[in-house]
Amino acid sequence: MIQENVEKITITLPDGATREYAAGVTGLEIAESIAKSLAKASIAVKVNGEQRDLCDPITQDSQFSIIKLDSDEGLEIMRHTVTAQLLARAVKNLYPDAKLAIGPTIENGFYYDVEFKEPLSEDDLAKIEKEMRKLKETNAPINKSLNSKADTIAAFEKRGEPYKVDIVNRADQEDGFQLYTQGDSDFIDLCRGPHLPSLKHVGVFKLMKVAGAYWRGDSNNAMLTRIYGTAWRNDKELKEYLTQLKEAEKRDHRKIGAEMDLFHFQSEAQGSVFWHAKGYTIWQQLEQYIRRRITDDGYVEVKTPQLMDQKMWEASGHWGKFRENMFVVPDVVPNTDEDGPVFKEEPKEFMALKPMNCPAHVQIFKQGLKSYRDLPIRMAEMGCCHRNEAHGALHGLMRVRQMTQDDAHVFCREDQILSEVKRFIELFYAVYKDFGFTDLKVLLATRPELRAGNDETWDRAENAMAEALNTLGIEFEYAPGEGAFYGPKYEFHLRDAIGRSWQMGTCQLDFVLPERLDASYIGEDGDKHRPVMIHRAIFGTFERFIGLLIESFAGRFPLWLAPVQCVVATITGSADEYATQVYEKLRAAGIRAHLDIRNEKINYKVREHSAVGKVPVLYAIGAREAEEQTVAIRRLGSQAQSVESLDSAIEALAKECKAPY
């Protein structure tokens, strides 16, 4: 059909070539005009940087590219179609009463939140998956229509989908709601798109697990059932992903911690760690290391009370804002009658285990008058804190109820904020580099809605914190509204073995606590001024940091941290005496050694100390070594052996065991 006066538009392809089309041309038509095979492989297009469906008309001059399944974007679109079209429709087919909420893609997969009448268990997933396969086999084309707000709401109300109605109601737009359909089924889904042009482009998928999730992420709302799944282009990719998951599980710090005899938990102390000798060795190494670091950076170290009176926590604001996370202890003598109540009368006076160290540090600051010349004061504490975390939040070493922070508070003048924050970041990065943690996510959390302090102070604080990162060339993202009520903060995040992100270190400006607890210094002008407090931690907590270390190293600690650095294992009983000498010499050289003269074969010993114990160095001692005063050295992860003379081997090993700082 030739239309003389139809408007022409210019389409610019990724290679810079331009082509002219009639306005309103679709992505599919452009693809077809380039090559039939390309059109067949296309699943969506990108117009001026925005993902669009193949069937969307293009009405103006545009940058244009085609999205195929082989790209990351293509894979994500496919996953989106799997959840929003296949999973949603399969669920509706099997459970007509189910109410659909949202179904986005996530890293490696997707989920869909659904309200079911009856609880859904993981056993039901096979059935749903089967239905999805059946639907995929239809190769149904996916079409869409644009609808007004009123029509869209009417359509979902008719279908009994209150969550979809809610989504539409909350939308700003009045028109252009996209409803997708599959072939001639009566399934519809509200979606931003784009989607695959048809189900035949769907690759392989697998439903993984079910979990609860609150509607709109709000615990006041109904809890929906979230179905998690994964989708890939082909079986090989899926298999690789599942293998990778299995491998990641092997790095789980809880599993490795038990195997390596590092720590344990038991129900009588839920959320609190029983550190075994080997685990506590790691802790001590970390503590000594960080103490050297901060001492050299001008910190002083203090130790403050575990229990303080309710009045202190009222003054600090914790009683009001943090109490549900605190362990509160009645300050009365318990009843001693064996069968009587714990307390003879209702306790009226309370104390609380500290959930944070800051109020106590302010008390130390307040002892004696401070001059502006005294500032900054960098006050550190390996502070043991208790927080009454929700049961469901506890997770191995990553989330505990008793934790020890490598905490410190810098008391400084406002004009010192920038230099102190910069100084901290530099220290922080030097430390993380020593542990090989280079892939940090940094967030700058800014003022929340409910906050103390005026806007000018917040402006200055947030700007100083952003400037510190910028001048040091550190990339970060803003977390708007996520700051503490008393000031903005940095959050430093790391990922564990299976990709969960954990906040490690932090750095928080605080204008409120010095005020509340009436801390002041005498300024140059002779008047009293409020110091600014910077709350900061590098590891965050020893517990979480060790958890991350275990997963990051898969238990294979570098020599300086390894609980046992060297095992001396005999090959034959005749070498016992010499092996004992070797062991004694290692100990004398300050090396954490273990002597294994059990009546076992060397194969067995090697396996136990390597695969299970993850000891970095093993000295195998047989008759030859005893004869020649040597050791046969085997390194963890290597089949190679080298024979060296005893003294030089120990000397070299001792050097290697030195901490990086």
Partner RNA sequence: GCCGCGGUAGCUCAGUGGUAGAGCGCGUCAUUGGUAAUGACGAGGUCGAGAGUUCAAUUCUCUCUCGUGGCACCA
Binding segment for RNA (CB under 7 A), chosen from 28-36, 136-144, 264-272, 457-465, is 264-272
Cβ–Cβ under 8 Å, residues 178 and 190? yes
Q: Which is closer to RNA, CB of 9 or CB of 443? A: 443
Is there a contact between 529 and 372 (Cβ–Cβ < 8 Å)? yes
Neighbours of 224 (CB within 10 A): 23
Please tell me the distance from the alpha carbon of residue 169 to that of residue 506, in angstroms, as a whole number.
39
Long-range contacts of 13-18 (CB under 8 A, 24+ apart): 13/64, 13/65, 14/64, 14/65
Residue of 387, 423, 605, 614 marked active site = 387
CA distance linking residue 359 with residue 407, whole number of Å: 12
Per the residue annotation, which of 358, 507, 566, 657 is the catalytic one? 358
CA distance linking residue 39 with residue 17, whole number of Å: 18
| Residues 90-129, interacting with RNA (CB under 7 A) | 119-122
Q: Using CB under 7 A, which of 265, 313, 428, 486 touches RNA? A: 265
Query: What H or E segment, with its residue span, contains residue 118?
Result: none
Whether 358 is catalytic: yes
- Residues in the chain, total: 661
Strand order in the sheet with 350-353: 307-309, 350-353, 328-330
Smallest distance from RNA to CB 614, Å: 8
Q: How many CB atoms lie within 10 A of CB 455?
A: 9
Q: Is the dihedral of CA 306, 307, 312, 317 positive or negative?
A: positive
Q: Which stretch binds RNA (CB under 7 A): 25-33, 97-105, 302-310, 624-632?
A: 624-632
Give 189 or 407: the residue with its C-beta nearer to RNA: 407
- CB of 347: closest distance to RNA in angstroms? 21
Pick the closer one to RNA by CB: 21 or 110: 110
Which of the stretches 51-59, 87-95, 341-349, 571-579 binds RNA when contact is defined by CB under 7 A? 571-579
Catalytic residue among 405, 416, 508, 565: 405
Whole-angstrom Cα distance, residue 556 to residue 558? 7
Among 334, 340, 573, 590, binds RNA (CB under 7 A): 573
Torsion of CA 575, 658, 433, 447, to 10 degrees: 110
Element (H, E) at 25: strand 25-26
Q: How far is the CB of 545 from RNA (least distance, A)?
A: 8
CA atoms in the 13 A half-sphere facing the CB of 104 = 3
Cβ contact 209:112 at 8 Å = no
Alpha helix (H) residue ranges in 64-124:
72-81, 88-94
With binding defined as CB under 7 A, does residue 395 bind RNA?
yes
Q: How far is the CB of 135 from RNA (least distance, A)?
A: 24
Tokens 């074969």 appear where?
A: 601
- Annotated active-site residue 409? The verdict is yes
**Closest distance of CB 225 from RNA, Å:** 5
383 makes contact with RNA (CB under 7 A): no
Place of tokens 């898969």: 554
- Strands 109-115 and 42-47 turn out to be unpaired
Where in 269-298 is the site for RNA (CB under 7 A)?
Answer: 270-271
The pattern of x and - marking residues 543 through 562 that bind RNA according to CB under 7 A reads xx------------------
Q: 410: closest CA among 508, 318, 504?
A: 508
Asked about 507 being catalytic, the answer comes back as: no
Stretch that binds RNA, among 23-31, 231-239, 252-260, 587-595 (CB under 7 A): 252-260
For RNA, the closer of residues 184 and 449 by Cβ is 449
Question: 464 or 632, CB closer to RNA?
Answer: 632
Task: Scan residues 470-509 and list those touching RNA (CB under 7 A).
Answer: 491, 498, 500, 502-504, 506
Smallest gap from Cβ 319 to RNA, in A, equals 16
Q: How far is the CB of 317 from RNA (least distance, A)?
A: 14
Whether 387 is a known active-site residue: answer yes
Restricting to residues 164-223, which ones interact with RNA according to CB under 7 A? 209-214, 217-219, 223
Q: How far is the CB of 1 from RNA (least distance, A)?
A: 52
Question: For RNA, which is the closer residue by CB, 394 or 522?
Answer: 394
User: What is the distance between the alpha carbons of residues 411 and 374, in angstroms, rounded to a whole number?
Assistant: 9
600 in contact with RNA (CB under 7 A) = yes
Planar angle of CA 233, 239, 243, nearest 5 degrees: 135
Is 253 among the residues known to form the active site? no
Q: Within positions 628 to 657, which residues make up the interface with RNA, using CB under 7 A?
A: 632, 634, 636-639, 641
Note whether 625 binds RNA by CB under 7 A: yes
Backbone angles phi, psi at 611, to 5 degrees: -65, -40
Catalytically active residues are: 358, 387, 405, 407, 409, 489, 535
